[in-house]
Structure 1
Amino acid sequence: ELGIIEDNQYKVFDWFRKLRNKAAHQPIFHVTKNDLKNLSPKKFREPKNFYNFCFEYLILIVFYYSKFIQ
C-alpha cells in the first residue's frame, strides 16, 4: 500500500508469514515440498534447501533495501 516494497516482495513476505503461522500452530512442524511448490528457482523447492533459500533471500532483501536504512 505504501509502495515501499514491490508487489512480488510483498507476496514472498506474506508467504513467509503464512508459513510461520502454520508452524506456530503445530507442535512439530516440517517444511514440505508442497509448502515450497511455488518457489523460484526450482532448486529451492526441496525442503533440504529451505535454509539456503532463506539465507539467499535475506541477503537479497538487505542488499536491495539497504538504501532505505540509514
Structure 2
Amino acid sequence: MKMKKLNQIFNYKLEIFNPKKNTEKIKKLLKRLKNEFLEKINNWEKYKPIRGKIEDFFKLCKDGLNMREYTQIYT
C-alpha cells in the first residue's frame, strides 16, 4: 500500500465532535500517533531483524522447550 493512500485512511474518532471534550488535544494526539506510525512503516526494514529474533525466540520456546500452551497467547 502506498504511503499517500495509507495516510488518507486515518480518520479522527467520532469523539472529536463532542463539544464537552477538548478536541484540539485529541486531534494533536491522533496526528502525533499517525505520524509516528507512518515513520515506523517507512523504516520497516530496520525492524525486520528484530522481529525475526522475536519469532525465533517463540519458536524455540514452543518447539524446543515444549511450552506450546504457554506461548499461544503471545503469538
Same fold (TM over 0.5): no
Tell me: higher relative CO, structure 1 or 2? Use CA pairs within 8 A at least 6 residues apart.
2
Which of the two has higher C-alpha Rg? 2
Normalising by structure 1, we get a TM-score of 0.32
Normalising by structure 2, we get a TM-score of 0.30
Richer in helix (by share): 2
